[in-house]
Every structure is written in structure tokens, then in C-alpha cells.
Structure 1
Amino acid sequence: MEVAFIRKYDRTKPKPNDDLVNGKIRFREVLVIDQNGDQLGTMSSRDAQNKANDANLDLVCVAPKAKPPVCRIMDYGKYRFEKQKKEREQRRNSKVVSLKETQLSPTIDVHDKNVKLKRTLKWLQDGDKVKVAVRFRGRQMAHIEIGQKILDDFVEECSEYCVIEKPAKMEGRTLIAILAPKKNK
């Protein structure tokens, strides 16, 4: 007869991604579901482990916080593979939207503005948000309306490809507007 030593206080806490499998299941009683999805009822974790061993499968705890905890008899390797496959699929389908920044000044020339406009339009077409900032230096603060006009003209020229997520607003010495790409349908 084999005697398993179970610590009263287990100091090793399971990591969030660790699944409770076979010997790691330390509950007194568990609700067991077999490989076909049929409920076998509540039994001790040792009896449940023996049933899983008889079927040459693993005992996996799928709901440890339930009363009593729910364990399932299944092939753990296949279960883990399917779980990783779903996570990869979710990562592939999610798109990270980054925030790019275009800086203008109240004294910007036409050609410089066109270069920055071309780059901003490319970012918007790629699906990125763009923060357009007009920085005021020194005495330029006395003529904020000039910077406001430059920002408004810039946003007007971008309007075909974007929507204004946050309208122009002064933050310190900077006039900022945030543009988001239009959703293509």
C-alpha cells in the first residue's frame, strides 16, 4: 500500500497558467465528468484519479473554484494543444493600434506641411491613430490663432481618411488634436 504525503500548508502556489492535472489535484472531493461528457458524480480525488488511469487518460480540474471542484477525464496533451491553438488565433486576429505623432509649428512652410501631411495620411491608411501637435515657442504664445488655423487646415486636408477623435485643445504650450482612421466597410 502506497501512502502519499500531503502537506497541510502547501507553500508552492500554482502559477495562473498552470492547470491542475493528475497529482496536482489536492481536493478532498471532486465532481467527475468522463471523456464522453457524462457526469460520474462526486467522489474522492484519489478514486477519480484511479478512474482516469483505468481509461489511460488524465484527470484535469476544469473548474477549481466550483463547489465541489469539477474535474474532467481527458487527454491533457490534446487539451493543451487546442488551448494554445485558440490563443494563437486570437493573437493573430487582434490588431494593435499605435499612436503616431506629427509635430507642426505656427511658422511651418507649405512644402514642410505637405511632407508631414503625406506621412500622416499613410499612417491613417495603415490603421494607426495620429496625434497632431502644434508647438508654440516664446512669443508665438501671443498668436495662438495662427497655430489654430494651421491645425484646422491640416485636419481639413486629412478629413477624407480620418475622423476627429479628440478636437483641438491647448495643453501647456502645445495645441493637440487626435485623429482616428475611418472604418472601411
Structure 2
Amino acid sequence: MKNDKMKMKYRVNEQIRVREVRVVGEDGAEVMPTRKALDMAHKQGVDLVEISPNAQPPVCRLIDYSKFLYQQKKHQKEMKQKQVKQEVKEIRFGPQTDEHDYQFKLKHAQEFLNEGNKVRAYVFFRGRSILFKEQGEVLLLRFANDLEELAKVEQLPKLEGKKMFLYLAPKKAGITKKSQQRRDREEAESEGRDNAKAGQPEASEDNNGNGLFANAKNGADALNKLKGDND
């Protein structure tokens, strides 16, 4: 089916009915009557293949048609392999994210971005912790600031229900893919830490702690910088 569609894209030999064509080859290009080009193809035992019908005059090659189709199929396959499939990866922060866990999640985000994926980071506010949404905003802005060499901000922190989201997109194409099994294992470990912390008391207003407020303090400069960049 695919080969049939590819064959229909090109006119060959007597299907080319214009008066003259531009024949390209290793020695350059030459405009000539279509009949002369067909005679040349016949003498060389190849086909006259129209590769650019919209040019004036149309551009053709003297080549075996089966070989030409094989080359085109191979080229398309190579181009497809070079394309990076972009996915959206989530990074979750709890209201008591400590510095160690923050760095762990930051490392994950760096890997996701290097792979060419987008990152959706969010802070989940449980219960009364929603009162401290400004600190959650600063945490996410610190996160974006720490990733500014790899990512651009697609959407600044925005509260949606009990979650505040930040969207990041990679600045460059992906490099290598980590195995899905390893990613699943590490994400499960991170989720386990979040669930363990969920049973602890809500974040306090102690700015000297290791949770959200410590991150908020560290992220104050990031808040001003990123807001200024997006004004």
C-alpha cells in the first residue's frame, strides 16, 4: 500500500508529457526536449523519473525507477528515526518538599528535557496548605530558574483547583532515551516519598525549615527574574 502511494507521487517515462525537462545528474543539469531525455534513458537502460513537477521546466533524473523508490523509502525512514517523539512528563511537589527531594526531582526534569520532552511541574496543596499558594508559586519559579539553560517557560505557575501548574518546554531536541523500566522505578520511589509525607502535619510557617518555605526563600530571586522575563 505504501509503495503504491509512493509510485503515484512520481511520473515516469511516457507519463511525462511536458515539452521539455531539466535533467539533473552527477555532471550538473541540462534542459532538453522530453523526447531526447527519454531516448537517453532508453540507451542507458534506466528510467526518466520526474522528481520536481512544479519546477519550470520539471526536473527529472535518469535512474532505475525501482532503485529510486528504494532510495526515497530509505530516506523517509531515516528522517522518521531522527524525529524525537515529544511527551509531557509530570513532576509533582508536595507542600513539604525538602531540599533533597527537590534536587531529586530537578535531576529528573533535567533528564526529561534532555530527552526532548516537555515538563509539567505542579505543587499539590492539601487542606490548609492552600493558604500558602504564594510559596508554592515561588517554588515552581525557582524550579524554572534552575532549568533555564535547558528549558523555556510555556506557562508561568497557575493555580487550578488544589494544584498549581508550571509548563516547561525543552530548548533543544532530545539526546538519549532512558529505559521506561528505570523511569517507572524512579517515579515510584518519588511517589512513595510523597505518600509518606502526606501523613505528616501540614507545612508550618517556620521559614528556617527544610520544606516548602525553605524552597520559597531560595526561590525569591527566581520569582522576580522570571516574572520580569515574561512581562
Is residue 31–residue 41 contact of structure 1 (8 Å, CA) maintained in 2? yes
Unmatched segments (≥5 aa) in structure 2: 173-231
Partner of 1:19: 10
TM-score by length of 1: 0.61
Partner of 2:214: none
C-alpha displacement of 1:56 = 0.8
Partners of 1:37 and 1:162 in 2: CA distance: 45
Is residue 58–residue 76 contact of structure 1 (8 Å, CA) maintained in 2? yes
More strand as a share of residues: 1
Deviation per CA, 1:43-75: give whole Å up to 9, x if none: 35xx64344223210010022112332333222
Partner of 1:31: 21
* Aligned alpha-carbon RMSD (Å): 3.9
Amino acid at match of 1:147: G
Counterpart secondary structure, 1:118: helix
Identify which of 128, 146, 152 aligns with 1:159: 146
Q: Does 1:82 align with 2:68?
A: no
Identify which of 134, 159, 170 aligns with 1:145: 134
Is residue 165–residue 179 contact of structure 1 (8 Å, CA) maintained in 2? yes
Partners of 2:152 and 2:134 in 1: CA distance: 21
Is residue 20–residue 57 contact of structure 2 (8 Å, CA) maintained in 1? yes
Counterpart secondary structure, 1:20: coil
Amino acid at match of 2:84: K
Partners of 1:95 and 1:121 in 2: CA distance: 21
Pairing 1:111-126 to 2, within 5 Å after superposition = 114=101, 117-125=103-111
Deviation per CA, 1:64-118: give whole Å up to 9, x if none: 112332333222333333333433443444434433111234x34549x81x752
Quickly say closer, same or farther: Cα 1:118–1:142, change in 2 above 3 A: closer
Partners of 2:23 and 2:164 in 1: CA distance: 62
- Percent of paired sites with the same residue: 23
Partner of 2:33: 42
Is residue 12–residue 50 contact of structure 2 (8 Å, CA) maintained in 1? yes
**Highest CA radius of gyration, 1 or 2?**
1
Q: How many residues align?
A: 162
